[in-house]
Amino acid sequence: MKRVSLEFREGLTFDDVLLVPKRSDITSRIQTDLNTRLSRNLSLNIPLISANMDTVTESGMAVAMARYGGIGIIHRFLTVKEQVDEVLKVKRSGSIMIENPYTVGPDQTVGSAIDYARDRDVSGLLVVSGGRLIGIMTERDTAFELNRSSLVRDVMTKDVVTADPGIAMKDAKQILYQNRIEKLPLVDASGRVRGLITSKDIRNTEDYPHASKDKKGRPLVGAAVGVKGDFMERTEALLDAGADTIVVDIAHGHSENAIRAVGHIKKGFPDCELIAGNVATAGGAEDLIGAGVDAVKVGVGSGSICITRVITGSGVPQLTAVMDCAKVGRDHDIPIISDGGTRTSGDATKALAAGASTVMMGSILGGTDETPGTVLTKNGKQFKVYRGMASLAASLGRKTKEGDVSPDDDLNDYVAEGVEAMVSYRGSVKDILRQMTGGIRSGLSYCGAHSIRQMQQNAEFVKISRAGFAESQPHDVSVM
């Protein structure tokens, strides 16, 4: 029988260390470059990802993350159709040209058309008959229509301004301006719709010059899948919808279930940019890379609402886990994602300096406008719900969607590894991303680095004591 080793490794997390300042030739932090790799073949303009949690990332958050240069991962606790719709909303939110605009038939009722548009979060629909464009129905056409049983043909705008599919963007802008319209259908010689350009999409392109985009100019977005049940069908549907990366989402990524799922997905969809995790050891990273992943997600038990370490006694402090996995990642040229334990821009900087290419955030973003859910008021203060995906409520919700809950189930059989909590309402995610990226840029300058890769080469950590940590905080003053 193999004996347990009595020699203990020391594991460190972010509060245990500081980065040693180095001589810097940077005169302004704007000189730093935050471009980084998300996976083997995908790059981001900032090293930040929103977590695939049901209280963090749906289309609203994913759109915001992409606009500011990062990416959001749509959580998997939706039906396949619901998750696909979330991906499509992101892709349509910033396309230079919408390739497959939503359409409606002339004989449909106004009520059904309005519901269809509202469900897809669009302000107008192209009216098509026999495959050809015959009109357009916008909010302006239905604003004062009281009879939902009226037909679309009776309220639509029939005289539609159109353009050829190959029109240049500057010419499209001119047509939109001259005709004081917001939507420009692209129609071929036979009258068939080939695309749609909107003034909103043009403005978004100009307002967010550093957005992360795919080859067609659409926002980048990822989506999570599980390791059992419909994960292959779900992956296919998400890729068809335009998802740029698939994340195999499992708490213990160094398991046969995860490795098997990665192998199946890579075999079925070899061109898919595949991320998997979570792991906390070099061996875990090595095995996932061997199975075919394009990036490894690192972090077990380090999240703010995760109690895996309390319940199971397992985990590795996050800084040590990132450093161990990053060494394997460098050997195979596979990026590492630090997932968990990040509370400040300083923590994110340390994770990047330790070898992570990107940092996944959950609780930092949890109270923002862009997260799913409504704002709650308690004792005069505003909050939003934030929960771990292994919490009791999340586990029951997941099983309910999968039709796997029975009235005879014993709640004692559910062993939660996460908790539910409330986080303070924080307004727009834009302000948090600015603070995070600003802090990371400053962190690079303190390390004498112009880029994340250069910081990783220059980084020197110093271990600190409890007194050193206390010294790092505001002290001997009353904070206002």
Q: Which residues are catalytic?
A: 306, 398
CA distance 83 to 246: 12
Listed in sequence order, the residues at least 6 apart from 71 whose beta carbon sits closer than 8 Å to its beta carbon are 38, 44, 49, 50, 62, 65, 212, 220, 221, 222, 244, 245
Q: Residues comprising the binding site for K(+)?
A: 301, 303, 306, 471-472
As annotated, the binding site includes: 249-251, 299-301, 303-304, 306, 339-341, 362-363, 386-390, 417, 471-472
Please tell me the distance from the alpha carbon of residue 87 to that of residue 238, in angstroms, as a whole number: 7
Question: Cα 239 to chain center, whole Å?
Answer: 15
Task: Say whether the peptide bond before residue 35 is cis (omega within 30 degrees of 0).
Answer: no
CB half-sphere exposure, 315, CA atoms < 13 A: 23
* Helices 199-207 & 169-179 angle (0-180, nearest 10): 130
Assign 298 to helix, strand or coil.
strand
- What distance lies between CA 389 and its chain's CA centroid? 15
Binding residues for NAD(+): 249-251, 299-301
Residues annotated in the binding site for IMP, as ranges? 304, 339-341, 362-363, 386-390, 417
- Take residue 314 and report the two structure tokens written for it: 């397992």
**In contact, 284 and 253? CB cutoff 8 Å:** yes
Instruction: Assign residue 180 a region (left: φ > 0; alpha: ψ between -120 and 50; beta: otherwise).
Output: left
